[in-house]
Amino acid sequence: MNKICPNCKTENRNIARYCKNCGKELISENNIVRKAIEEIVKAEDLIDKARKIQIDEHNLDEFKKAEKYLAEAKESQKAQDYAGAIEWAKQCISTIKVVINTSKNKREQIQEEEKRHKEQKRIQFKNLVPLKLVVFFTIILTIAIGIYINSKKKYEGMVYIPAGEFLMGSDEGGGDEKPVHRVYLDAYYIDKHQVTFEQYDKFCEATGRTKPSDSG
């Protein structure tokens, strides 16, 4: 499958990294959907950040422009124009960064928040009785060691798969495949060794578990 340049729309060979016409870096069809989502999320986060600070009056027009760019990015995404969505989102990001960084009250607000946070931490720490603190951490450490030892026995012969997230689905798919969405997967353990259907049936018979209804 050939790559389409998001800048000049020129069709390039699949193995090409940069557009033969304008030199812009190319993105594969699968990755361009993900890139569009990531850029839009980044733009949304910066818009939210800007709303939390006091925007200077001379920056209000630029802020409105950034909001407009974000709206255009979302519309392009809906129309499956992912290259357009990326470009609009990038315009939003560059514009809103200027708004945030040139706001006079930004530094004062951040310093005030940091000062308030440090004061809250100081008060919380001051109110803790040292002896109770030692007892608390001793209990926590004891529990943690016990859990670790038991888990080592319980999950011996298994591999730990850490929690994570990934993008799933397709905007062009059918049924519940639409749209592309972020999926969070909890951590879990998986056996190191393969198990045959016959072995699993014997396991179910020995433990009283219900056998799977399908053939696997």
Distance between CA 77 and CA 92 in Å, rounded?
Answer: 15
Amino acid 132: pLDDT: 55
92, 43 Cβ separation under 8 angstroms: yes
How high is the pLDDT of residue 92?
94
The share of the chain scoring above pLDDT 90, in percent, equals 12
At 187, the pLDDT band (50, 70, 90 cuts) reads confident
Residue 159 pLDDT greater than 70, yes or no: yes
List pLDDT tens digits, range 43-75: 999 998 888 877 777 888 999 999 999 999 999
| Segment among 3-12, 97-106, 146-155 with least mean pLDDT | 146-155
pLDDT at 93: 94
Predicted pLDDT at 123: 65
Distance of CA 111 to the CA centre of its chain: 28
Radius of gyration of the chain measured on its C-alpha atoms: 27
Q: Which CATH class is domain 3-106?
A: mainly alpha
Higher-confidence position of 188 and 164: 164
Looking at the predicted structure, is the pLDDT value of residue 183 above 90? no
**Would you state the pLDDT for residue 68?**
94
pLDDT of residue 64: 92
Question: Residue ranges of the domains in the chain?
Answer: 3-106
* Lowest mean per-residue pLDDT among 119-133, 138-152, 174-188: 119-133
